[in-house]
Structure 1
């Protein structure tokens, strides 16, 4: 009986030898097509990214476009490889389409994030390196990916925000215009000479080269507060200089007022005691 099985197997191999060789050749060619296609996809993606960066295309657009190109090439290569070993891609596409519909219904949030990512790339309200406030998070934009946006906060934390949350909320871009107004409130004593105080404030601003001349700064009495006369000091600076100007102005104004003998008061209250 064992001899009969061996003989039948030998006969089957002899009769189907050409078919087996052809199938093995197709499998090997399909694997080669897949491997070479993936390498080509990576090469095209990297080359496209380098060209776009060299042409000064925004880093977010370059990254998103190159990644999408890579995935499209890989999808085409997978379909070609499956077709090579005899799998009907038309039927496969129909199955994938039906599965995609079910998956799409289950992953509505992910699809909305993908759509929001495409809109962010098209309209570009944010760019890589810009300091923005999105969905309650403030920081520098690191990248806009297929489903998420990556932000690096000033204290070097990485925050990943879903793209749909970015697009459905207000986007505050502090960098795009290139200029920011520095808003300071400086309080002086009620006994201080307001004209002299204004002159000192103007002198401090004029001595700082980082403060822009156009648009011009604004200095005015903001409020007669409980314990002080508050001046609004509002110069303009480049967005990149904002925090340096903000911190240094406080220090320089304090020193200048001290040298002029103008008091910066702390909150005070007059208490009247009634003795019975």
Structure 2
């Protein structure tokens, strides 16, 4: 009994204690190293889109190395341990195929670059500003400050609408007036409004045309090109200005027709 205690239990207990200490110290060191790497990466000229991915990858690699070291301290030969991992790779791949798909998707997103940090996108049924592309997930922030985590595998295999990739965008409005109104006057007023707005780009030139004969109104379509960041400011400005000018020019805008089938 004493021989067993001396030859097996006591050495194992020592190794176990050393392994626990190594694990705790290692995790603490990894945390500090990750912070240090994070600071250096933030200071570097590396693309902002790559920074979160690099920091997540460094942290993950260090934790894998720590796990191998702890297993080695417990008496398991690291070569055998790695061989077991390699032999079980297929099973692990099946078990974590979703995670592997997300990792591969993250790499694909960084290589193809359909999105970058700071872009406003719509994908996988969600929309928001890209805050980070991590190892497994891409983080979006919505205009009302919600945070959305989308698996990279989903993003890599779905259609993405990127609203920020181009410097300019086209704004569009439809304004309806009564059939009794002077259509030439309406067109002149709308053209004056859109051409005089400071946010509207002159090239391509704005578009103002009659677009539809509705049941209770004649509709005019107005289009204008604007810098992407000014789109919504222009949109709401024009809506307000048109209403005020139509009131001033005594141009009637018909009331919206009520849906008679709408539940009360």
Per the normalisation by structure 2, the TM-score is 0.81
Aligned residues of 1:189 and 1:265 also touching (Cα < 8 A):
yes
Q: Is the 8 A contact 1:221 1:230 kept in 2?
A: yes
- In structure 2, the residue matched to 1:164 is 153
RMSD: 3.1
- For 2:121, the equivalent position in structure 1 comes to 132
Is the Cα–Cα contact under 8 Å of residues 226 and 267 in structure 1 kept in the other structure?
Answer: no
Q: Which runs of 5+ in 2 are unaligned?
A: 258-264
Number of equivalenced pairs: 256
Of the structure 1 ranges 191-200 and 80-89, higher mean CA displacement relative to structure 2 is found in 80-89
Deviation at 1:150, TM superposition (A): 2.4
1:64 paired to 2:64? no
Matches of 1:37 and 1:124, distance apart in 2: 35
Gaps of 5+ in 1: 1-7, 269-276
Distance 1:160 1:227, change over 3 A: same
Shift of 1:217: 1.9
Q: Would you say 1:147 and 2:127 are equivalent positions?
A: no
- Higher-Rg structure is 1
Distance 2:152 2:189 in 1: 48
The equivalent of 1:221 in structure 2 is: 210
Moved more, 224-233 or 79-88: 79-88
Residue 56 of structure 1, CA deviation? 4.6
Say yes or no: does 1:257 pair with 2:246: yes
Q: Kindly provide the CA deviation profile for residues 159-194 of structure 1, in whole angstroms up to 9, marking residues without a partner as x.
A: 322222212111001111132211111112223223
Pairwise CA distance, 1:91: 0.6
**CA shift at 1:37, angstroms?**
4.5
Q: Quick check: 2:56–2:134 contact (8 Å CA) kept in 1?
A: no
Matched, 1:76 2:40: no
- 2-structure distance, mates of 1:54, 1:178: 27
**Contact persistence 2:195–2:206 (CA under 8 A):** no
1:54 and 2:43 aligned: yes
